Structure 1
Amino acid sequence: MQIDVMILPQPLGKVGDLARRTQAAGFSGLLFTEAGRTAYLNAAIASQAAPGLELSTGVAVAFPRSPFVTAATAWELQEASAGNFRLGLGTQVRTHVVRRYGAAFDHPGPRLRDYVLAVKACFAAFRTGKLDHHGEFYDLDFITPQWSAGPIDAPDPKVDVAAVNPWMLRMAGEVADGVHVHPLGEPGYLTRHVVPRVAEGAKKAGRSPSDIAIIVPAMTIVGDSDEERSRERDFVRASMSFYGSTPNYAFIWDEAGFEGTTARIRERQKAGDFAGMAAQITDEHLAAFATESTWDQLADKLIDKYGGVASRVVLYNAIGDPERFERYGEIAQQIRSSRSR
């Protein structure tokens, strides 16, 4: 089980130092999510600043970029990182894709499936000079030497997808190399949905479920005093209320025994009451969906919670205070060494 750090992309001048600190602290890799800044440029700088550090987009928005553009970018990052790059893709939600990016969003699940296959066809074309993908949404069959990146001395990048509902999880098992679990992915959801649905997709494609990485973000509340943990609780409440406001994710709360959580969050959201949104996340929510611990118990708690299920655990809130970042790095080293024995 590898331990990564999740980070929003930073101003480019800060990324090199962050990548070196991440590597020196003992983390497996650095995962760039995407918001106002793009993930790919940050990954490029990190690849040069910290050779050997594993890098991934978690996740980059797919549809506003053509599959060929995404494939070419991932190919260069795989070469620059000496084979240590994973391409993580997601659909985002309709409002962002249509109204912010000006891109098509219809049939997002099948579209993303076709997108992944198109990206992999582009990888093959860079090696062979022949591009031949004909799917429901993307037709790609023209490439010339001057418009091809050409072969690289590294395997094709792994392509991971963000998935929440059963159809998307099966699709990930069928065509992707890994699945990015939603930040609300508590252990019950992993065992009820993620593991069996990914396995179904893998079986359909004649693949082994063990070949598909399960990448799980973990929200942690850690400290040796209640005062220290209290600050973390406030951050995690706000984060959970943000993610939990999306109607498509309501079933995760409901199945965990917290029926109506999304409706209550959305009521406060519509009123512009962000503090009220966070207040809907109770201590019981935190106990189920986050990992709370003292520092000396955190490694064991994460292993107990995610061992045997997660291929990679991504620490959601490790970035911040430099001293805490170093302590999280020590936890990452403990987990990695315990799993190698």
Structure 2
Amino acid sequence: MKVGSGFGGTWLTAVPDQARHAEELGYDFASTPETQHDSILAATLAAYTTEKLEIQTSVTIAFPRSPTVLAMEAWDIQHLSKGRFVLGLGSQVKGHNQHRFSVDWPGAPATRMKEYIKMLHAVWDSFQDGKKPEFIGKYYHFTLMTPNFNPGPIPYPRPKVGLACVGDAMARVAGEVADVVMPHGFMTDKYMREVVLPNVAIGLKRSGRTWQDIEIAGGGFTVFGETESEIEQGLERLRQPISFYGSTRSYHEVFEVHGLKSLGMQLHELSLQGKWDEMQRVIPEDVLRVFAQTSTYDKLPEFVANHREYASRITLPLRASTPEQRERAKYIIEQVRKVQVPRVPRGLEDLSAIPDRPKVTA
């Protein structure tokens, strides 16, 4: 099991120390978000200042960027990192694409994302082996590459592409064309198993791949701690992400699986009124327990083995400010890394038995 942490989400001056810190603690990978700062710039700095750590964006927003420009950036980071880069992509929601990034929103974002990833592959093939660009899709096309603009091959595999997903269509695309399935942060284990993983299976079946051909990050809200008291405090902190993401109607499918659609609509209405503090207060106590799985650190290997049997990677932020905390963090990371899982979701072992749903949006 790969164990990961985070870096970035702050000014670039802090990124080198954050990335080195994650590497020194023994993490296998570290991810950088794209909220207030650019993920590609942060990933570049992290790649330059580390030697073994896998660098992942989680996530880079795709549609505001040209696939060719992003392919060039990822190619450079893959060379700089000596093959340690994972380009994690996300679509963001309609409102942010249109009103924050000022780009068009496709009627079928999953279909566009599949095309986007295929074009990345086409550009990288052109870089690596001089293959003539002949990619023509509905949203993107790549038919021109001259020697003057081709950086040429690198002695590493092409970057892995991760794809963030919430809905069924994007999960199918992840299974079909991505290398790493990255469940969105607003996710429960029940939703992961009933919606995301079955649709990833459909994508795998369509592409002729198996569960061993992809990596899946552990999905679902989790709260870990040394004691039950720490876990209780962690559950309280979940009010903010649940209320924030839950206010977006694009994510209400997660509420619906739990019979909580009315709570999602209530959060949405409060967000329109700008009542961000009140949004957190309206989340009932029992919903926190419904959404989040919990474990103390001493039982964490058992938790991973029993509840993340499908995953090859898990993010595990740990306190490491004092020497004692750092030693404890290193020990926990090593114990979780030792966990062996089949990387196949329970009940979805036989891909040939998976019914392929009508290709409506992907």
TM-score w.r.t. length of structure 2: 0.86
Structure 2: distance between partners of 1:124 and 1:202: 22
Match of 1:83 in 2: 83
CA separation in 2, counterparts of 1:208 and 1:166? 18
Checking the alignment, whether the CA contact within 8 Å between 1:183 and 1:219 is kept in structure 2 is yes
What amino acid is aligned across from residue 49 of structure 2 in structure 1? A
User: Is the 2:115–2:139 Cα contact (8 Å) retained in structure 1?
Assistant: yes
1:22–1:144 Cα change, 3 Å: same
| Cross-structure match for 1:167 | 169
Q: What does residue 20 of structure 2 align with? A: 20
Deviation, structure 1 residue 244: 1.4
1:326 CA displacement? 6.2
- Any unmatched runs of 5+ in structure 1? none
Deviations 1:16-55 (A, max 9, x none): 1111111111211111110120111111111121111011
Q: Where do 1:312-327 residues align within 5 Å?
A: 312-315=313-316, 318=317, 322-323=321-322, 327=328
Report the Cα offset of residue 8 of structure 1: 4.4
Cα–Cα, structure 1 residues 320 and 13, in superposed 2: closer, same or farther, change >3 Å? farther
Provide the C-alpha distance between the structure 2 equivalents of 1:312 and 1:260, rounded to a whole number of angstroms.
Answer: 33
Q: Give 1:241's aligned residue.
A: 243
Give the SS at the match of 1:216.
coil
Q: Which stretch of the first structure deviates more once superposed, 213-222 or 47-56?
A: 213-222
Segments of 5+ residues of structure 2 without an aligned counterpart are 342-362
Q: 2:195 aligns with which of 188, 193, 196?
A: 193
Alignment of 1:15-94 (within 5 A): 15-94=15-94
Q: Output the CA distance in 1 between the equivalents of 2:221 and 2:280.
A: 15
Listed one character per residue, the Cα deviations across residues 130-153 of structure 1 (whole Å, up to 9, x for unaligned) are: 222101111111111221121001
Give the structure 1 partner of residue 10 of structure 2: 10
Taking the aligned partners of 1:7 and 1:218, their CA distance within structure 2 comes to 20
Distance 2:42 2:196 in 1: 29
**2-side partners of 1:160 and 1:224: how far apart?**
31
In the alignment, the residues of structure 2 paired with residue 285 and residue 86 of structure 1 have an alpha-carbon distance, to the nearest angstrom, of 34
Structure 1 residue identity aligned to 2:321: P
Counterpart in the other structure of 1:145: 147
Question: In structure 2, what is the Cα distance between the partners aligned to 1:328 and 1:250?
Answer: 35
Q: Deviations over 1:138-172 (max 9, x none)?
A: 11111112211210010011112112111111122
- Other-structure match for 1:210: 212
Aligned equivalents of 2:259, 2:327: Cα separation in 1: 36
- Displacement of 1:59 in angstroms is 1.0
- Decide whether the 8 Å contact of 1:3 with 1:312 is kept in 2: yes
CA distance in 2 between partners of 1:56 and 1:205 (Å): 24
Range that drifts further, 36-45 or 273-282: 273-282
% identity of equivalent residues = 33
Partner Cα separation in structure 1 for residue 10 and residue 327 of structure 2? 19
Deviation at 1:327, TM superposition (A): 4.3
1:226-305 equivalence runs, <5 A: 228-305=230-307
Structure 1 residues 11, 202: closer, same or farther in 2, change over 3 A? same
Aligned residue pairs total 338
| RMSD across aligned positions (CA) | 2.2
Distance in 2 separating the partners of 1:44 and 1:116: 21
Contact 2:8-2:18 within 8 A present in 1 as well: no
Q: Is 1:110–2:115 an aligned residue pair?
A: no
Q: Please, what TM-score do these two structures have when normalized by structure 1?
A: 0.91
CA distance in 1, matches of 2:177, 2:211: 11
Cα deviation for residue 266 of structure 1 reads 1.6
> What amino acid is aligned across from residue 312 of structure 1 in structure 2?
R
Which amino acid in 1 is paired with 2:93? V
How far apart, in 1, do the equivalents of 2:203 and 2:192 lie?
Answer: 15
Q: Which residue of 2 aligns with 1:338?
A: 339
* Aligned partners of 2:88 and 2:161 also within 8 Å: yes
CA contact (8 A) 2:189 2:220 kept: no
